[in-house]
Structure 1
Amino acid sequence: VLAEMAGHRACMFSVALALLGVLLASIPTAVQSIGVCYGVNGDGLPSASEVVRLYQSNGITGMRIYFPDADALQALSGSNIDLIIDVANEDLASLASDRAAATAWVQTNVQAHQGLNIKYIAAGNEVGDQGGDTGNILPAMQNLDAALSAAGLGGIKVSTSVSQGVTAGYPPSQGTFSAGYMGPIAQYLATTGAPLLANVYPYFSYVDNQAQIDINYALFTSPGTVVQDGANAYQNLFDALVDTFYSALESAGAGSVNVVVSESGWPSAGGTAATTDNAQTYNQNLIKHVGQGTPKRPSAIEAYVFAMFNEDKKGPAEIEKHFGLFNPDKSPAYPISF
């Protein structure tokens, strides 16, 4: 009888464990989806190996670099940090016109470095606005994809990083691409399964439209819905800007393409509403918010904060020097938690 009772209890315990497993599986898990952009346009910045340790000690699991910096790539080896590597805008023309150049770029900047978690290669950053010919973006992407595939590295996705200036339309459901070159790029991304990399800055939207946009809407601090767009309620401008990209992708026939926010941040000095309090509020709220997704796409957003350091060589506007989470001596510009 005792043995039978023990067996019964064991059976009940197994059932309870199974039910607990089902319950735990049904609870949404936090997705670590925040990285930080690592720029080097500043005096007195720490070495690449120190920078990687700073990422790790702060729990930052993703990095974007704006060119294939050999020191950074070496320091990142074995770090388990997810990585976006940009192709410099000035290099796009050669990669677009010559597949051999794309093959050489992949050999030099990807295959030559072991132990890296490269997620995306960005064929240029805000091409056109920041230099380069937008006509080179798509052929460069195609040649890079071919080179990666030939090297057995097809898991690395190729995209391009664009500003919110390539979209137009309000409210978010009316978003379209205002730049003609974006339609073919979006359709190509749909065939490769790569995301669109989008630089999303509520700060600049607010500064350019202060009569229409309340700063709380830009800082994630509005107490309730600010914009009602059909069934979608928007309490913050970040979601509205991201969903404008999603609507533009849908309008271009590329609704399956995901959006990765390749830059977003708020300056702490140098211009309108650029204070340490506002920068800390925006970036901390961004880190908290991305796990929720947007009204159109309520799954976690992958996003990269701009930027790791205050960079005194950036410009020409003073404000460009003050987007850093850290000072060059590695001290925090303001408290932030990942």
Structure 2
Amino acid sequence: MAKLRIRLVLSIIIASMHGHMGVASIDIGVCYGMNGDNLPPPSAVVALYKKYGINSMRLFDPNPQALEALRGSLIEVSLGVRNADIPTIASTQEAADSWFQSNVAPYLNDVEFAYISVGNEAIPGQYASVIPPAMQNLQNALNARNLAGIKVTTVVSTATLASSYPPSGSAFLPEASSTLSGVLQFLSAQGSPLMINVYPYFAYASDPTNVRLDYAQFTATGAVVVDSNLSYQNLFDAVVDSFYWAMEKLGVSDVGVAVSESGWPSAGNGNFTTPELAGTYNRNFIKRIGSNIGTPKRPGAHMDGFVFAIFNENLKPAGTEQNFGLFDPSMNPVYPSLPPAKG
């Protein structure tokens, strides 16, 4: 598995908890969403990443302005394929080569690509059946150029799971299983991870009576859920292991995961969404990914991860969806005890 070599200055989160600047070498980046009409230009965003030492970025689509701004930045990129483009890429090798030539090849000399993710939460859905051939066609394009170090994958959410509790009882939805079987066989052959979006916030907010806050925020001091011989102190580990169990039920046990999104909104749902809760979750998520301790089911398994997201985005649906950012559009940290960004 390609390892994202990242040095992240944790002041954007850790300072609000401990009152000091902290630096950690960890395998984590931040998603760069663009659903806002008041966001700074990509050149300023890249400068913001560099200012705070965030050396990995997830792009949801091959935005030319962002890719141009990334030239020479040394920021590693996880590049998304738009869902609507999947059928074309899957249709012929020539179509996949054309997509690659337009969206990746021009930047190869001075942008470092870690992943190409074919679709975002497109399984199950209208594009699901053509994801495996699209992945294979893009892999062929990479292989032809000796670029096998770039990992081709896809992004799925917990909506692909028919059940996730207990983790050992997890299985994929019947309507997702046929596509995911092909996806997992591809990932196994290539040594690439499945990208998963993991949001303990939503489980807690939808059922606070049965989902404890400390379990959702990584702050429980002992086992909260016991599943046979496996004990869980946090919901994040339980969700990741649910994917491992579900993959094994499709006959694949050697595919890892990368966490393509995780975060906690700082506003939009009353006391469920405060800057303090958002800061606590994101800090602990960063620490969890950086620890490389794996999960109860797969101790020591490596996971790359991405915090969602760099900005609050005002064109997303009103409420929590607009409030997942580490920064506001003026590029000041959202958590109020942090110093404002300079420059």
Q: What is the TM-score of this pair, normalised by structure 2?
A: 0.85
In 2, Cα distance between the equivalents of 1:37 and 1:61? 11
45, 48, 52: which one aligns with 2:46: 52
Q: Which amino acid aligns with 2:295?
A: T
- Unaligned runs of 5+ residues in structure 1 are 1-29
- Equivalent pair of 2:123/2:156 in contact (CA under 8 Å): no
Secondary structure of 1:112's partner? Answer: helix
- Hey, what does 1:183 align to over in structure 2? 181
Letter in 1 for 2:312: N
Trace 1:99-138 onto structure 2 (pairs within 5 A).
99-113=93-107, 114-127=109-122, 132-138=126-132
Write the distance in 2 (CA, Å) between the matches of 1:79 and 1:251.
42
* CA distance in structure 2 between the aligned counterparts of 1:124 and 1:333, rounded to whole angstroms: 29
What's the counterpart of residue 23 of structure 1?
none
2:164/2:239 contact within 8 Å kept: no
Aligned partners of 1:333, 1:93: CA distance in 2, in Å? 39
Alignment of 1:126-275 (within 5 A): 126-127=121-122, 132-167=126-161, 168-178=163-173, 179-180=176-177, 181-271=179-269, 273-275=272-274
Instruction: Specify the alignment match of 2:304 in structure 1.
Output: 302
Match of 1:330 in 2: 331
Equivalent residue, structure 1, for 2:322: 321
Are the structure 2 counterparts of residues 305 and 246 from structure 1 closer, same or farther at C-alpha, using a change threshold of 3 Å?
Answer: same
Q: What RMSD over aligned residues (CA atoms) do the two structures have, in Å? A: 1.8
Query: In 2, are the aligned partners of 1:90 and 1:132 still within 8 Å (CA)?
Result: no
Distance 1:78 1:120 in 2: 18
Q: Deviations over 1:257-296 (max 9, x none)?
A: 1100000011111125111111111001111121233222
Given that 1:89 and 1:132 are in contact with CA atoms closer than 8 Å, whether structure 2 keeps it comes out as: no
3-state SS of the aligned residue for 1:253?
A: coil
Which amino acid in structure 1 is aligned with residue 213 of structure 2? I
Length-normalised TM-score, structure 1:
0.86
Partner of 1:27: none
CA-to-aligned-CA distance 1:12-39 (integer Å, 9 cap, x gap):
xxxxxxxxxxxxxxxxxx7511100001
SS in 1 for 2:147: coil
8 Å CA contact retained: 1:284, 1:336:
no
Q: Give the alignment of 1:15-30 within 5 angstroms.
A: none
- Please report how far the alpha carbon of residue 42 of structure 1 lies from its aligned counterpart in structure 2 after TM superposition: 0.8
User: Quick one: which amino acid aligns to residue 212 of structure 2?
Assistant: D
CA-to-aligned-CA distance 1:209-255 (integer Å, 9 cap, x gap): 22321111101111211011233211110111011111112222221
Deviation at 1:184, TM superposition (A): 1.9
Q: What's the secondary structure of 1:189's corresponding residue? A: helix
Query: Aligned partners of 2:303, 2:190: CA distance in 1, in Å?
Result: 19
* Rg comparison, structure with higher value: 1
Q: Indicate conservation of the 8 Å contact 1:92/1:132, yes or no.
A: no
SS at match of 1:239: helix
Task: Identify unmatched segments of 5+ residues in structure 2.
Answer: 1-23
Percent of aligned pairs sharing the same letter: 48
Deviation at 1:208, TM superposition (A): 2.4
| 1:336 shift after superposition | 7.5
Displacement over 3 Å in runs of 4+: none
1:187–1:252 CA contact under 8 A, matched in 2: no
Partner of 2:37: 43
